[in-house]
A = this chain, B = another copy of it.
């Protein structure tokens, strides 16, 4: 029975820290699973709101992508930016995704979903990418509010949020976050 193995492997995401925070001196930073949980939660509310606004979006699809998008890190770990310069993270994650999902009864579908995120192939995939950045910045805000510093670099991601196709729909959220951050600085 291979699903149980998959679930156990996913447990690595609880143990592995998000290395970006770690390298900047945040003590005991969040785990990959911590991050993934909130990405999925954000996706839920954003997707529902888009749908309510008449955007044609498949919420189930979006949620699945959110839950699967970092699963390969259970094998590849959270390679920080400094390391990505030396390692071909994308290729590694692609291979890991293929080998991970083969354990399931729907390898094709799950791998397809993973690629939608990775390569921005669908609206749902791009929404999760938007949620992923948003989540990271909310976490940055929380660490800064708690007193941690040295996190300026992360805020460059504001640009990608503002340039996103979803910005118009979630302008209040994005700018609300920005204003909260201005107060912390």
Contacts and interface: CB of A to CB of B under 8 A. Distances in A.
B150 A149 contact: no
A25 B143 contact: yes
Interface in A30-86: 30-31, 33-34, 36-38, 40-42, 44-45, 48-49, 52, 59-60, 63-64, 67-68, 71, 75-77, 79-80, 82-83, 85-86
Copy number in this complex?
Answer: 6
A121 interface: no
For chain A, the bracket of interface size reads 35 or more
Interface string A13-38: 11111010011111110110110111
Contacts of A31: 30-31, 34
Interface in A140-168: 141-143, 145-150
Contacts of A27: 26-28, 146
Contacts of A95: 86
Contacts of A180: 4
A11 to B, nearest CB: 5
